[in-house]
Amino acid sequence: MATSRTSIRRSNSLLGVIALTAIAHAELPKEGPLGKPASTSQAGFVPAAIPEDNPQTAAKISLGEKLFFEGRLSVDGSVSCATCHDPDKGFTDQRTTSEGLRGQHGTRNAPTILNAAFNELQFWDGRAHTLEDQAKLPLLDPIEMGQKSGADVVSALASYADEFQRAFGRAMNFDDVARALAAYERTQIATASRFDAFIAGKANVLTTAEKRGWQLFQAQCATCHPASSMFTDHAFHALGLPIKGLSFADLAEKGQKLVNSGDPTALDRAALETDMGELGRFLVTKQHADIGAFKTPTLRNLLVTQPYFHDGSQRTLWGVIAQINPKLSGSELDDLVAFLATLTSDRYEAAGKQELARQRALYKR
CA distance 118 to 182: 12
Taking alpha carbons only, the member of 115, 111, 90, 109 closest to residue 29 is: 90
> What is the model's pLDDT at position 266?
87
From the list 171, 135, 175, 209, the residue with the least C-alpha distance to 360 is 209
Find the farthest-apart pair of alpha carbons in the chain and give their distance in angstroms, rounded. Answer: 80
Per-residue pLDDT at 286 = 93
What is the pLDDT at residue 365? Answer: 66
Consecutive H or E run containing 257:
helix 248-258
Picking from 237, 240, 199, the residue whose alpha carbon sits closest to that of residue 342 is: 199
Same fold, 31-185 and 194-364: yes
Fold of domain 31-185: Cytochrome Bc1 Complex; Chain D, domain 2 (1.10.760)
Could you give phi then psi for residue 295, rounded to 5 degrees? -65, 140
Query: Could you list the pLDDT tens digit for every one of the 365 residues in the chain?
Result: 444 444 444 444 444 443 334 444 458 999 999 999 999 999 999 999 999 999 999 999 999 999 999 999 999 999 999 999 999 999 999 999 999 999 999 999 999 999 999 999 999 999 999 999 999 999 999 999 999 999 999 999 999 999 999 999 999 999 999 999 999 999 999 999 999 999 999 999 999 999 999 999 999 999 999 999 999 999 999 987 766 667 888 888 888 888 887 888 888 999 999 889 999 999 999 999 999 999 999 999 999 999 999 999 999 999 999 999 999 999 999 999 999 999 999 999 999 999 999 999 999 86
Tell me the C-alpha to C-alpha distance, in Å, between residue 93 and each of 88, 302, 319, 349. 9, 13, 20, 18
Domain residue spans in the chain? 31-185, 194-364
Q: Do 226 and 233 contact (CB within 8 A), yes or no?
A: yes
Q: Which CATH architecture has domain 194-364?
A: Orthogonal Bundle (1.10)
* CB of 142 closer than 8 Å to CB of 269: yes
